[in-house]
Every structure is written in structure tokens, then in C-alpha cells.
Amino acid sequence: MRLSLIVVADGTPEQVRAALESACSARTAARCAAQCEILVAGASEEAGDPMAEALSGFAGDFRSIQGSLTEPGPLLNGALAAARGAYVLMIEAHERISAGALDRHLEALEGEPELVASYGRTAVQRGGQVRVRPEHGKGGPVFNRLLKEKHLVSSTASLVWRRDALVNGAEPFPGVERRSASRGVPACADYCSPAARRLDLCFKLASRGEFTFHPAVVAERSDETLEIPALKELVKVLLGVLYGHASLEEKPEQRARFRLARHLVAIGKLYYRAEDYRHAKTFFDEALKAAPGYFKGRRYQFLNFVKNTLARES
């Protein structure tokens, strides 16, 4: 088996059905159709369940992997353990695969055995507009680029990765939160948001080898609204990068801290808008501690915003 397509059933029945339909269409169009399998992680098989009914028309097209969507780490690790493909492509419920993407990815990966992953652009739909991300991609070592550019890999479905790059020796998706005894910060967590899962996966892959980039749209997704829980998970991913590696060089560490500060500020703003000034102050304080340099040269409007927050809390 060359490729395993794993659809994550973490969405409405209509979303999951559309994601599965795109996977089936992409497999049919691929030259390696006979060597591509589809698994659906977390789909119910109970009679009368809306999800089971939505997927009933695809009977025989996929294998169902049972597990709890409230604990996606163990569920996705189970799906990977059941997968038989040398390569993996995961599709979140709000994502689709573009026509021709599978052949493009496989040709690149099989032609260069040293590559661990292949990715391309994502068409992100927001309202009636479509934005293609990233505008400028990069092949080769991308770890530092991932720290700097939040839209580099803009969908899980835009990424095909070599299964043995992560599966051998460790489970790619963390399932239990652990804390560093020395620093008291989260080392890993069971990420429920697609954005955090995607970023964590990309960092792990990028630490093991090089990527190749296709300057073409290979996936589509609806816009992701990052609320406080998702932003907190992104913070945990970046803390894992900062404190989970033996050492980061000065420039990559600064990039990681700046990105961490951006997420902490975003959380603080959401608390501020909810008139929870105590929590807003906490996250603004943490952002300042994480990356004081991030605020140099920032606009006076934002600094006044922070000052007003501190005044309200006191």
C-alpha cells in the first residue's frame, strides 16, 4: 500500500461527508488508485446516528477507526497503527483535497527518498472570498520557517508525509499532558484544535528531515476561527518547541518567542473583549515576559490598549 488517507470525523456529518467525498474522488483520479486506502477516524457506526447515516453511501470505500473525538491523540495514533500506507495524508472535517494532488505529492516523495514531507498551497475560503496560502513556500529545511510564518502549511490536507519518519519508535500525536519537572511548563498535550495538531505535526516532521513545496493549490478548507482554547493549544505547541529541544540557536529561539507572544496577546485581547480584565492582564504580562523585544516599535495604540487593560484590572 502506497498511501493512506485518514479523514478525521471531527465536524458536522455534512462536513465529514464532503471531506470523505473529496478523498474518494482524489483516490479515483490518482494513478495509484489501487494502492490508496481511506480510513475515517472517529466515525460512528451506530444505526440511526447522523454521522453513520451521512457516510452510509460510501459503504465499502473506507475503513472505520473507532475512538473518542474528545481524545484525538489516541484516536489518531490508532488510525496510524491501522494504516498500511508508506505515506500518510490526513484530512480534517473542514478540508478537501484538490484534483491531482496525490500524484504530485507521491512523485516528489518517491523521487527523493531523503524527503520526509510534501506540501503545497491551500485555498482558504472565508465568506465569499478565497485566499491562497502560502504566497511563497519553501522546500528543504523548514523548521525555522515554520516558526516565522504561520501560514506556511495552511491545512492538514495540504501535507503528505512519510509514515516511518514519525511512527517508528514514537506515537506522533500526544495523548497525555506532561509537565517539565525543571520548568513547570506543558511538554505535550492532546490537541483538540486542527491548527495545533497541524503545527505540532509539522514541527516534528521538520525536525526529522526536509520538505518539498509545490507552488500549486493542493487542498481547500474553510477559514479557521481561533478562539481561546485553540490559541492556548498553540501556546503549548510553541512552549514544547522552546523547552522540548536540547537547544535552539538564538535567531530561531527569538522567532519562537515572538510567535508565542503573538498568540498570548491574541488570547489577552479575547479576554479583554469579554471584559475579563484579570485574565487579559495575565496573558499580556506573559507575552511581555516571553518576548520583550516583540513590543519594540509597536504602535502606540496597542501600548495604550495594554495600559488601559492594566488600569481596568487594578
* CATH number of the domain that residue 158 is part of: 3.90.550.10
Pair 215, 251 in one domain = no
Kindly state the average pLDDT of the residues 98-111. 93
d(C-alpha 141, C-alpha 114), whole Å: 11
**Over residues 95-104, mean pLDDT:** 94
Q: What is the DSSP letter of 280?
A: H
Note whether residue 229 is domain-resident. no
- Residues in a beta bridge with 221: 95, 124
Residues 254 and 176 in one domain: no
Q: Is 288 in the same domain as 201?
A: no
Q: Which of 172, 190, 224 is the last residue of a domain?
A: 224
Residue 132 included in any domain: yes
Alpha-carbon distance of 2 to 309, in angstroms, equals 54
* Owner of C-alpha cell 514541527: 203
Q: Who's near 216: CB < 8 A, 6+ residues apart?
A: 104, 120, 121
Residues 65 and 114 in one domain: yes
Q: What is the reported pLDDT for 185?
A: 42
Residue 84 lies in a domain: yes
Could you tell me if 187 and 118 lie in one domain? yes
Cα(187)–Cα(242) distance, integer angstroms: 10
The reported pLDDT for the residue numbered 44 is: 77
Residues whose CB falls within 8 Å of the CB of residue 212, separated by 6 or more in sequence, listed in order: 108, 109, 112, 115, 117, 118, 119, 139
pLDDT at residue 170, rounded to an integer: 65
Task: Decide if pLDDT at 69 tops 80.
Answer: yes
How far apart are alpha carbons 256 and 263 in whole angstroms?
A: 11
Asked, for residue 178, whether it belongs to a domain, the answer is yes
Do 123 and 188 lie in one domain? The reply is yes
In this structure, are 25 and 167 located in the same domain?
yes
Name which of 200, 135, 153 is nearest 172 in CA terms: 200
Q: Which class for 244: exposed (0-12), middle (13-18), buried (19 or more C-beta within 10 A)?
A: middle
Is 218 in the same domain as 265? no
The stretch 102-111 carries a mean pLDDT of 94
Number of domains in the chain: 2
Query: Which residues have C-beta within 8 Å of that of residue 194, sequence separation ≥ 6?
Result: 8, 10, 92, 94, 156, 224
Question: Quick one: how far is CA 264 from the chain centroid?
Answer: 18
Where is pLDDT greater, at 71 or 38?
Answer: 38
* Mutual angle of helices 101-111 and 13-29, in 10-degree steps: 60
Supply the mean pLDDT for the chain: 87
Among candidate residues 136, 119, 88, the one with its CA nearest the CA of residue 219 = 119
What is the residue-wise DSSP string for 112-172?
Answer: -TTEEEEEEEEEEEETTEEEEE-SS---B--HHHHHH-TTSS--GGGEEEEGGGTSTTS-S
Look at the block and give the residue holding cell 457506526.
45
C-beta separation of 39 from 62 below 8 A: yes
pLDDT of residue 182: 40
Mean pLDDT over 80-101 rounds to 94
For strands 115-126 and 129-133, give the pairing.
antiparallel
Residue 236 lies in a domain: no
Is 240 part of a structural domain of the chain? no
Q: Are residues 96 and 168 in the same domain?
A: yes
Q: Model-level pTM greater than 0.85? A: yes
Residue 287 located in a structural domain: yes
Q: Are residues 210 and 274 in the same domain?
A: no
Q: What residue has cell string 490508496?
A: 36
Please, which pLDDT band fits residue 203 given cuts at 50, 70 and 90? very high
The confidence band for 172, taking pLDDT boundaries of 50, 70 and 90, is confident
The whole-number pLDDT of residue 178 equals 46
In a domain, 238, yes or no: no
Considering the domain architecture, whether residues 294 and 147 belong to the same structural domain is answered as no
Please check whether residues 191 and 101 belong to one and the same domain. Answer: yes
Amino acid identity at 265:
V
With contact defined as beta carbons under 8 Å apart, do 130 and 124 qualify? yes
Question: Which of 65-74, 109-118, 286-295 has the highest average model confidence (pLDDT)?
Answer: 109-118
Which residue range(s) make up the domain with 308? 247-313
For 246, residues 6+ apart whose C-beta sits below 8 A from its C-beta are none
Average pLDDT over residues 63-72: 88
Cβ(200)–Cβ(237) under 8 Å? yes
